[in-house]
Amino acid sequence: VARGLSGVQLVVSDAHRGLIEAIGAALPGACRQRCRTHYLRNLLTTVPKSAQPWVATLVRTIFDQPTAEQVRTQHAWVIDALEAKYPAACEHLDAAREDLLAFAAFPRETWRQIWSNNPHERLNKEIRRRTDVVGIFPDRPSIIRLVGAVPAEQTDEWTEARRYMGLDVLAKARIRLITGDTPAQNPLPRTLTA
């Protein structure tokens, strides 16, 4: 995994074509982790409704593995398990391998935070909930105050109560082996969700 010129090593997003193009253009060299929740929803459309719980459980076993090597081995095993009965799902899962397993190149302690963009989705949902209650805003500054309050509250919670990703974990992510031709003076890497 190459460190991007911007210092960003990983971007977590769904597979929206516009997002993928923007990530490639704005953050060259950063790898992309496809949100496992969004991916699973897409994958389940390739199998009959009656098989969806079984396929979902099977795919989730990929993320339950303790090492990066075992994650890749389990991914291959799941593909083999799906091949005979659900070839479309097998092909879908195989095609998504690199985007779906990008998290495994990072320290184990970060996996839960980087294999999905659900926290970002929850933040957006809370913003929508609050703006729906108000309905019509008198002016632009009032929108900015209300919408800005949500991330400010989240920042306060992470600063005072619990951190989403501690500095010690981020430091481990920074010292992991990074390959590629990138400048040596990169700042502390950031992880983004889209």
pLDDT tens digit sequence for 162-189: 666 666 666 666 654 444 444 343 344 4
Q: In what order do the strands lie in the sheet with 191-193?
A: 31-34, 10-13, 191-193
DSSP state of 32: E
Query: Smallest Cα–Cα separation from 26: which of 45, 4, 41?
Result: 4
Three-state secondary structure of 108-149: HHHHHHHCCCHHHHHHHHHHHHHHHHHCCCCCHHHHHHHHHH
pTM of the model: 0.67
Whole-number pLDDT of residue 15: 80
Strands 191-193 and 31-34: unpaired
Neighbour-count burial for 170-190, b at 16+ CB within 10 Å, e otherwise: beebbeeeeeeeeeeebeebb
CB proximity list for 1: less than 8 A, separation 6 or greater: 9, 10, 31, 102, 105, 178, 179, 180
Whole-number pLDDT of residue 126: 85
> Does 17 or 191 have the greater pLDDT score?
17
Average pLDDT, the chain: 81
Domain ranges of the chain: 10-193
C-beta of residue 58 within 8 angstroms of C-beta of residue 77: no
pLDDT of 190 over the 70 cut = no
Average pLDDT of span 7-16 = 80
Query: Smallest Cα–Cα separation from 83: which of 117, 55, 64?
Result: 55
Average pLDDT of span 43-58 = 96
